């Protein structure tokens, strides 16, 4: 492992909304790229490689849309590759940019992408296609009912209630109301969440993330380059991935290695990232967390997997307000994935938001005194869990 650190020097993100009819897909990518390049105070000649963040093609309805985006990210004549790890795509793209630099191959790398999920009409039609066509495609599987079944098992195991789920939405919506880039910014009450219609038991409409449109971009650089050019940065001090096996039905039954209630491999991924960053007691050493949770119930198993609570204890800790902005360890101070989900860049925004927090640049949703933060991204049906530790 290189001893030279890798820093984040520029951040760009759209103001996410349901639709952006004013912008074509490459327009939206370019919007985030321009913001990140201005933030980094660099020109395109300084960028040596571009990692393109793009989840399933069918979500934007353009096959290999990174080809269409190549100009929007200024990648002509540069190293260029696309990353797709489903919902984890954004954090995997940051990881790929990191590895370009940590390997010593490049000093300055851009990663960027955008999504227009609202144009898809029904993202569950696309997501149903992640199941194998042999045994499971015939069932009406989608990510909502996949994670509804996780909620059923988490309820059975740890006593989570529908009201506990609603409490996550209430917290995250309140935090999103302070973040001008978040998509769903309307504050809601527990009663309103509980009264919203069932989508897939026990998940109700307000337990679900929206289908968002917008772009994200980050500029990463080597410590050597940052010091030579006297740039401001925050540092990626730990990163990892971990996968689970494919079959949902293998995460239940007799003595499963990983239970579908939990996010077993997310826990492994965090342990790897913490080891790299030298974090031995995350509950004490981490100040802020952006954990990928597209449905309210999944925030609990993500908090558990991040080692911020013992399994199931996250329910009581959240009820006590420990994970609120202003609480002991704010989780999803931006409003998180529950309030904004432009799938191709969602997990990149988790990294971006943690970087802003430890930089002290998060504005109205700043967690006071945050110096060490963590981010995660989940993709597929538990196959891609990406994690990062970011420090000032």
Partner 1 sequence: MELMTRQETWNITYNHALGETASWFYAQIRDHSKIYGRRCAATGRVLVPPRSFSDQTLEPTTEWVEVGPGGRIEAFTIVYEEFQNLPPPPYAFGYVLLDGADTALGGYFKGLDLTDPAKAAERLKMGTRVVTKFAEQRTGDVLDFWYEIA
> Interface residues with partner 1 (CB under 8 A)?
21-22, 58, 61, 119, 121-122, 124-125, 128, 133-136, 138-142, 145, 148-149, 152-153, 156, 197-203, 245-250, 252-257, 260
Closest to partner 1 by CB, 263 or 288: 263
* Residue that the structure tokens 């432009």 belong to: 342
**184 or 348: whose CB is closer to partner 1?**
184
**C-alpha to C-alpha distance for 123 and 128, rounded to whole angstroms:** 9
Closest CB to partner 1 among 261 and 315? 261
What DSSP string describes 143-176?
A: HHHHHHHHHHHHHHHH---HHHHHHHHHHHHHHH
Pairing relationship of beta strands 198-200 and 79-83 according to DSSP bridges: unpaired
Give the start-end residues of each E strand in the chain. 6-13, 49-53, 79-83, 108-116, 198-200, 203-204, 213-222, 234-242, 288-290, 372-379, 384-391
> Which two structure tokens, joined as six digits, stand for 144?
């909502």
Give min distance, CB of 125 to partner 1, in A. Answer: 5
Cβ 123 to partner 1 shortest distance, Å:
9
- Residue closer to partner 1 by CB (options 294, 377) is 294
Q: Output 140 or 180, the one with its CB closest to partner 1.
A: 140
Report, in Å, the least distance between residue 315 CB and partner 1: 18
Give least dist CB 248 to partner 1, A. 7
Task: Report strand pairing: 234-242 vs 108-116.
Answer: unpaired
Cβ within 8 Å of residue 316, ≥6 positions away: none
Torsion of the alpha carbons at 344, 388, 371 and 109, rounded to the nearest 10: -60
Least Å distance between CB 309 and partner 1? Answer: 23
| Helix (DSSP H) and strand (DSSP E) numbers for the chain | 15, 11
At residue 230, φ and ψ (nearest 5 deg) are 55, 50
User: Which of residues 38 and 161 has its CB atom nearest to partner 1 in the complex?
Assistant: 161
* Minimal distance, residue 136 CB to partner 1, in Å: 6
- Residue with Cβ nearer partner 1 (251 or 287): 251
- For partner 1, give the closer residue by CB, 61 or 326: 61
CA–CA separation, 238 and 94 (whole Å): 12
What are the helix (H) ranges across 177-250? 190-195, 223-228
State the nearest-atom distance from the C-beta of 244 to partner 1, in Å.
10
Q: What is the nearest approach in angstroms of partner 1 to the Cβ of residue 26?
A: 15
The answer for residues whose C-beta is within 8 angstroms of residue 266's C-beta and 6 or more apart is 242, 301, 302, 305, 306, 376, 378, 385, 387
For 18, the 3-state DSSP assignment is coil
191-to-167, 257, 358 alpha-carbon distances in Å: 10, 37, 34
Work out how close the CB of 141 gets to partner 1 at its nearest, in angstroms, rounded to a whole number: 8
Q: Which is nearer to partner 1, 99 or 246 (CB)?
A: 246
């Amino acid at each position: 492992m290189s001893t030279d650190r890798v820093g984040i020097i520029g951040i760009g993100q759209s103001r996410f909304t349901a639709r952006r009819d004013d912008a074509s897909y490459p327009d939206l990518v370019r919007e985030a790229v321009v913001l990140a390049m201005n933030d980094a105070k660099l020109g395109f000649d300084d960028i040596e490689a571009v990692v393109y963040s793009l989840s399933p093609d069918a979500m934007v309805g353009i096959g290999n849309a990174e080809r269409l985006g190549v100009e929007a990210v200024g990648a002509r004549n540069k190293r260029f590759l696309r990353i797709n790890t489903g919902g984890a795509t954004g954090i995997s793209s940051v990881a790929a940019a990191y590895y370009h630099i940590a390997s010593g191959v490049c000093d300055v790398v851009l990663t960027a992408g955008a999504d227009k999920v609202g144009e898809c009409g029904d993202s569950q039609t696309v997501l149903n296609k992640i199941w194998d066509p042999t045994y499971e495609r015939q069932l009406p599987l989608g990510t909502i009912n996949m994670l509804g079944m996780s909620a059923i098992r988490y309820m059975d195991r740890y006593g989570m209630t529908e009201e506990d789920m609603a409490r996550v939405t209430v917290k995250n919506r309140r935090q999103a109301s302070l973040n001008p880039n978040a998509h769903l910014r309307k504050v809601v009450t527990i009663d309103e969440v509980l009264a919203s219609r069932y989508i897939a038991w026990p998940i109700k409409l307000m337990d679900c993330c929206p289908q968002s449109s917008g772009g994200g971009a980050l500029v990463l650089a080597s410590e050597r380059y940052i010091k030579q050019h006297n740039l401001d940065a925050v540092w990626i001090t730990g990163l990892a991935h971990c996968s689970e096996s494919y079959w949902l039905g293998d995460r239940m039954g007799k003595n499963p290695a990983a239970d579908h209630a939990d996010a077993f491999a997310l826990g492994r991924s965090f342990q790897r990232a913490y080891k790299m960053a030298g974090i031995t007691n995350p509950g004490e050493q981490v100040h802020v967390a952006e954990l990928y949770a597209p449905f309210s119930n999944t925030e609990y198993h993500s908090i558990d997997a991040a080692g911020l609570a013992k399994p199931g204890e996250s329910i009581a800790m959240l009820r006590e307000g420990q994970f609120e902005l202003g609480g002991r360890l704010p989780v999803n101070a931006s409003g998180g994935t529950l309030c904004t989900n432009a799938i191709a860049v969602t997990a990149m925004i988790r990294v971006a938001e943690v970087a802003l927090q430890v930089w002290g640049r998060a504005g109205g949703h700043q967690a006071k005194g945050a110096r060490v933060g963590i981010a995660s991204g989940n993709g597929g049906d538990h196959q891609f869990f990406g994690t990062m530790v970011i420090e000032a």
